[in-house]
Amino acid sequence: MTATTQTNGHGPALALGPILYYWSRETVFEFYEHMAELPLDIVYLGEVVCAKRRALRYMDWIELGHMLQESGKQVYLSTMTLLEAASELGGLRRICKNEQFPVEANDMAAVYQLHKAGLPFVTGPAVNIYNSHTLKKLVELGLQRWILPMELGASRLQEIRAAAPNVASEVFAWGRMPLAWSARCYTARAANRTKDECGMLCLEDPDGRLIHTRDNEPFLALNGIQTQSALTQNLAAHMAEIRRLGVEVLRLSPQARSMTSVIKAFDQLRQSDDDSINVLSKLEALAPIGTCDGYWRGAAGFDRPLEMTRAAQS
């Protein structure tokens, strides 16, 4: 079982990241049944945020994986990001030893388990690869594809990638950026509840719970123990540069609405960016509250795409 990167021959592969939010079992199954029909090359499956989210069990993810595999997708099982109990470690071991799908490691415990088993793996956004030394060390342990940390941009990607040119690179091209994780559940705390008695409030926030500054500007999105950006990262305007840098995979993070349109827009751009301005305008309208691309350009993360700023000023 090898972690590889398959494409359809039209530029970077399109990957659908794991669902970061808590959706009902019925919603998740309907979502992936529809995703099976779309031009995606890779799909990541599994609960990566909170172990209390048990709408789907291990065998449900396996069932979905086979369904998506039969539709031509390459499937990865994603591990939890923050392990807090022995039971969660047991779940991690089960995923790493699944023998059916390659694994996306989202913490160093998963990296250790996969290396110990002699299995290749890819890393998710929570495994911080900020320099070439880290990348080379993980390659020695079995890494076959890595994803650029949220805070880094094109120049750092080129610099780090040069250390291991034969390892595939992935960038987070669409979605609210996962920025931090904590043992404390912010969603529960916002409702004056304890984490153990949260009542699964995350079900009420299918795209996270937006919070604002005192000046009423959108600031962050709370997603249980995960903190996200309020704005949606959108790298569609940088497709030519992404191609030039040799990025193999674009990750699109699931959202509750309009995901089909997002995927089709990126599929159109990876084949040809001749109509990129029109596609960019469409994508802006598909984000929950707007888009940003500052980190990619080496600026503040919440900086709006330059094309959108110019359009608003004209």
Number of H helices, E strands in the chain: 11, 12
pLDDT the model gives residue 307: 62
User: What is the rounded CA–CA span in Å between residue 35 and residue 262?
Assistant: 12
Q: What is the mean pLDDT of residues 199-217?
A: 93
Beta bridge partners of 273: none
Least confident of 22-36, 183-197, 270-284: 270-284
Can you read off the two tokens belonging to residue 201? Answer: 């409030």
Q: What is the mean pLDDT of residues 113-117?
A: 97
Q: Where are the domains of the chain?
A: 13-178+229-313
Determine what percent of the chain is predicted with pLDDT higher than 70. 93
Question: pLDDT confidence of 273, banded at 50, 70, 90?
Answer: low
Please write the tens of the pLDDT for every residue from 119-136: 999 999 999 999 999 999
User: What is the rounded CA–CA span in Å between residue 267 and residue 41?
Assistant: 10
User: What is the rounded CA–CA span in Å between residue 206 and residue 246?
Assistant: 34
User: What is the rounded CA–CA span in Å between residue 170 and residue 15?
Assistant: 9
Arithmetic mean of pLDDT over the chain: 92
Query: How buried is 310 (Cβ within 10 angstroms: 0-12 exposed, 13-18 middle, 19+ buried)?
Result: exposed
pLDDT the model gives residue 271: 85
Q: Residue 196 has what DSSP assignment?
A: G
pLDDT surpasses 50 at 250: yes
User: What's domain 13-178+229-313's architecture?
Assistant: Alpha-Beta Barrel (3.20)
pLDDT surpasses 90 at 280: no
pLDDT the model gives residue 311: 46
Beta strand pairing call for 121-123 and 103-105: parallel
Question: pLDDT confidence of 272, banded at 50, 70, 90?
Answer: confident
Task: Give, rounded to a whole angstrom, the gap between the first and last alpha carbons of the chain.
Answer: 53
pLDDT surpasses 70 at 67: yes
pLDDT the model gives residue 243: 93
Helix (H) or strand (E) holding 218: strand 218-223
pLDDT the model gives residue 305: 87
Question: pLDDT confidence of 2, banded at 50, 70, 90?
Answer: low
